Amino acid sequence: MDRRRFLLSAAAFALPIPAGNQMAFKVLRNGTPIGEHHLYFTQTGDGLSVEINIQLLVKLAMIPVFRYNLKAVEKWSGGVFQSLESKIIENGNILTVHAQKNADGYEVTGTNRDNPDKNMPTYQVPSNTMPLTYWNKRFMDGTILNIQTAHTYPAAVNSPGWNKMPTAEGGFIVAQRFDLTGKLHLSVWYDQSNSWSGLEFHYSGDETYEKIIT
């Protein structure tokens, strides 16, 4: 492959990996901080591993009423999503999701939420599937894989435009808002460099993500 073709291929594989190979958000519920969401990026050749760690704790009158811990690893090669392993502990209940690339797309399975002792049957999803981990804006271009439920959804996306998003330190980021509707209801923001900048959704309260800049 000549240099020009190599550079074109490299550009096609480019992913929005943050400076310092990490990204973090403060998570708030109804305006009160309840934990943090961290992502760590490791590159090896044209491969990329993304580790995700979420720790949340909700208290009512100083009594813990909701605990949520998520650990996940997603793998990429040549700019293509390859696999995902996630484990969630939600108030003591363990949920897992596994996705693996094959010739026809991806095989997906996960814990049966109605019977946590059993897994869902393995099923096939199309090759345009990407995990709902937010850091890669391209997830909105095709089928979306929920890394908690192992369910997939078609993308229904609208962008109302650009606005200022607050950061965890009290500053702001100018970012474009995207609203996802249908089976998913959330708003996510990306800055001019396509870097994930904020998130809002409702789950037993109004959840807001503020990016940690320092």
124-181 pLDDT, tens per residue?
999 999 999 999 999 999 999 999 999 999 989 999 999 999 999 999 999 999 999 9
pTM here? 0.89
Residue 69 is predicted with a pLDDT of 97
114: left (phi > 0), else alpha (psi -120 to 50), else beta?
alpha
> Where does 3-211 sit in CATH, by number?
2.50.20
Residue showing tokens 């990996």: 17
Closest to 23 measured CA to CA, from 150, 156, 164, 198: 198
Q: How far apart are CA 22 and CA 74, in angstroms?
A: 14
Residue 116 reports pLDDT greater than 60 = yes
Q: What are phi and psi of 9, to 5 degrees?
A: -65, -40
pLDDT digits (tens, 9 = 90+) for 84-106: 999 999 988 899 999 999 999 99
